[in-house]
Structure 1
Amino acid sequence: MIGALMLDIEGTTLCEHDIEILKNPQVGGVILFSRNIESPQQVRALTDHMRQIRPEILIAVDQEGGRVQRLKQGFTRLPAMGRLGELYQTEPQRALTLSEQCGWLMATETLAVGIDFSFAPVLDLNDISDVIGDRSFAQNIDDIIPLADAFMKGMHEAGMATTGKHFPGHGSVKADSHVAAAVDHRSYQEIFDKDMQTFIQLMPKLDALMPAHVIYPLVDCHPAGFSSYWIQEILRKHLKFDGVLFSDDLTMQAACVAGNADARILAALQAGCDMGLVCNNRTAAELALHAIQDQPLPNQTRLERMRGKIEITLQSNTKWQEVKQDIDAFVG
């Protein structure tokens, strides 16, 4: 069974403390960071060890491309998605082809080392945000939708589930929610007409969503990831989204409005998230884990959709070699 907490580990191998905590039924996932990664062979050994302890555990990573790419040594360097948006202005068909190839290549290389999924793609607009920027495909909806659609098509072809972030949109909020409170004072209609459209129009391709740690006070007083209104009323009821909902990292500064880590994960789960992320702070992760021990396990059918489906041997795969050459040439 898959639990409701996703946490991280300190090193490139599991220590005894890691092994003990992974055995807890409410630990449902592990997210890997750059410090956990030395080579494809080492990552595969690490994920295999995790599954010896908990065969059902979900393993994730942030492998967006550009400045957010945890898998580096021995993996293809991916462009920032914003570069595809720039290319789309002059060579739209080539940009769409490269976007699909990026999605496929990212997913293929990630799955090959035993990681189930990357938290990708970013569906925010590249507007005023201090944290989004070229993580976004483009500045406007009409460019983002076809490029992200192609990227997710590539992910699905490789066998990886997709996770759109950060619903209902972080691009129009200047503050970086990692380090500051983020507040968007627009009306629901303004958000719906602009930022939400990428999520709404791409929803058929989305297996999961990650709500933003942003407060939209004209809609609800809680950040979207802690808001039953955004999650239950808007996403589940109005937009009829039945995919997985992952909280953004609950140690981020913008999440502190909910209290300590125990209060934060309870707030996220009670609002309707399926799994809460507590990263880079083992003390906070243990506090969160203790808080949810008596909580029911999340929706297993939903979470099982996030499991990686296909595994290939890269070096003998002609398509991988050809696509890698195309992406290497584009990145330069």
Structure 2
Amino acid sequence: MRRPVALLALTALAVAGCGGNDAPTAGPATVPSSTAPATEESSPPTDSATPLETATAKPSPTKQPTKAPSCVDQKLQALTLREQAAQLIMTGVDASGMSSAQRTVVRQQKPGSVFLVGRSGSLSHTRSATAAMTTAATVKGVRPLIAADQEGGQIQRLKGPGFDRIPAATVQGTWSSSELTAQAQDWGSQLKQAGVTVDLAPVADVVPSSLKSQNAPIGELDREYGSTPQIAGRGVRAFVQGMRQAGVATSVKHFPGLGRVRGNTDFAAGVVDNVTVRDDADLQPFADGIAAGTSMVMISTVTYTKIDPDNRAVFSPTVIQGMVRGDLGWRGVVITDDVGAAAEVAAVPAGDRATRFVAAGGDIVINAKAGLTATMVNALVAKAGEDKSFAAKLTGSVRRVLTLKQDHGLVSCG
């Protein structure tokens, strides 16, 4: 299927920029042969060995050293299946500090990531809260990712002393790229100081001007950078670059776009997009975010009838494997929009929300309801125990998550 030229060009850049950077493996070292000088105790050649046989005798093969496993490989081997499964869950906890029930869940389940919900206090208060979360969730030298929705405007979780008040994306989109990058770097530095390693932003959805007032999840909240792929993509690139410079991971969202729907999946079920197609021009900002160095791609819970009418995007191999990993060439972490508290998936058993996403090619499951964490982990473990193909996918997902954590200094080896 043909793809827009611009998308293909940026896809090529994304593949080049986001693939592995493994150093080339050095060839085997040349071991010089040495002949010990003859001594009086040395036995002279016997008549049974002819001069020709002596000259053509083969030296003993040199044993090559075994390559030491990487830090990620070490952790994969050290973690039990249950601990690996838990690395794929991002559990929601209060931004102001874990409640007693949340603390119990985090300590017992050791989720690989924590998602801050509600509102926080000051930066210093948030830093104390995230430190406690890190201690509770760390397992075998693997610390959790701590994430927040820090877009700006109406979607800014962390406020108070130490945190800038961030304007909405519609305002950010009017700035020059250099100004937005500089501002995003400042906002990212504040997050880093507060112990937050992931900003679940930026929004890469394109909201047509004619639909803005009818688009509940994005347009009505001024979350879009612009009404065209070009304007939106410019804002996405600048925001991602600024956060990267601050050392904070980002997640472009909500693939393949919420700009053409009416309902908000957090509060409504049966939300459908009947317009977006697989090679849609409005996918460009996601390619732009990948090219800029985003850390994750977030998948929406909407059903796209012209792409995969039988599955919500988060459960669709066509969307995740075909479009994100195939068309866009993305090899990094793929994350869900919330599937814990969202009304859109309330009818789907909690365990199935996790297993169906991983089976479709995804990695991290956002679960805003901490009480569902054990159910999701149990479902992943059970599915991996009975299905070798699924177990291989789970391992691949954990490897991607651990690699991302290693890039942000959250994995200790040695």
Q: TM-score, normalised by structure 1?
A: 0.82
Within the candidate set 217, 237, 243, 2:326 is matched to: 237
CA RMSD of aligned residues (A): 2.2
Residues 230 and 243 from structure 1, CA distance in 2 versus in 1: closer, same or farther, beyond 3 angstroms? same
What percent of counterpart residues are identical? Answer: 27
Amino acid at match of 1:131: P
Give the superposition deviation at 1:32. 0.7
Of 157, 164, 182 in structure 2, the residue corresponding to residue 70 of structure 1 is: 157
Corresponding residue of 2:16: none
Shift of 1:30: 0.7
Residue 113 of structure 2: aligned partner: 29
Aligned with residue 7 of structure 1, among 76, 88, 91: 91
Question: Which residue pairs with 1:314 in the alignment?
Answer: none
Which piece of structure 1 moves more, 193-202 or 56-65?
Answer: 193-202
Q: 1:209 to 1:303 in 2, by over 3 A?
A: farther
Q: 1:50 to 1:84 in 2, by over 3 A?
A: closer
**Unmatched segments (≥5 aa) in structure 2:** 1-78, 385-393, 410-414
Once the 2 structures are TM-superposed, how far is the Cα of residue 187 of structure 1 from its aligned partner? 5.6
What CA distance in whole angstroms lies between the structure 2 residues aligned with 1:309 and 1:260?
33
Rg (Cα) greater in structure: 2
Deviations 1:301-320 (A, max 9, x none): 4444257849xxxxxxxxxx
**1:81 Cα deviation from its structure 2 partner:** 1.0
Distance 1:153 1:201, change over 3 A: closer
Aligned counterparts of 1:81 and 1:302: Cα–Cα separation in 2: 28
Report if aligned partners of 2:112, 2:137 keep a CA contact under 8 Å in 1.
Answer: no
Q: Is 1:154 the counterpart of 2:242 in the alignment?
A: yes
**1:270 aligns to 2:369 (yes or no):** no
Q: Which runs of 5+ in 1 are unaligned?
A: 88-93, 311-332
**Matched ranges for 1:86-165 at <5 A:** 87=174, 94-127=175-208, 128=211, 129-133=215-219, 134-165=222-253
Q: Structure 1 residues 130, 50: closer, same or farther in 2, change over 3 A?
A: same
Partner of 1:305: 404
Deviation per residue, 1:41-66 (Å, 9 max, x gap): 12111111222233311110000011
CA offsets 1:64-91 (integer angstroms, 9 cap, x no match): 0110000111110001010133x3xxxx
Q: Is the 8 A contact 1:164 1:210 kept in 2?
A: yes
CA contact (8 A) 1:117 1:308 kept: no
Residues 308 and 159 of structure 1: CA distance in aligned 2, closer, same or farther (over 3 Å): farther
Deviation at 1:198, TM superposition (A): 1.3
The worse-fitting range, judged by mean Cα deviation, of 98-107 and 15-24 is 15-24
Q: Is the 8 A contact 1:5 1:29 kept in 2?
A: yes
Q: Corresponding residue for 2:170?
A: 82
Task: Choose 170-179 or 296-305, whichever is displaced more.
Answer: 296-305
Check 1:26–1:270 CA distance in 2 against 1; reply closer, same or farther (3 A cut): farther
Aligned equivalents of 2:150, 2:405: Cα separation in 1: 15
- SS of the counterpart of 2:372? helix
2:336 match: 247
Q: How far apart are the structure 2 equivalents of 1:155 and 1:229? A: 30
Q: Show the counterpart of 2:350.
A: 261
1:198 match: secondary structure: helix
The residue type paired with residue 343 of structure 2 is Q
1:59 partner SS: strand
SS in 1 for 2:112: strand
For 1:50, the equivalent position in structure 2 comes to 133
Counterpart pick for 1:38 among 121, 124, 127: 121
Q: Is the 8 A contact 2:177 2:234 kept in 1?
A: yes
1:59 aligns with 2:146: yes
AA aligned opposite 1:111: K
State how far apart, in whole Å, the 2-side matches of 1:308 and 1:42 are.
26
TM-score scaled by length of structure 2? 0.67
Q: Deviations over 1:203-252 (max 9, x none)?
A: 22222110111101222111111111111122112321111111111031
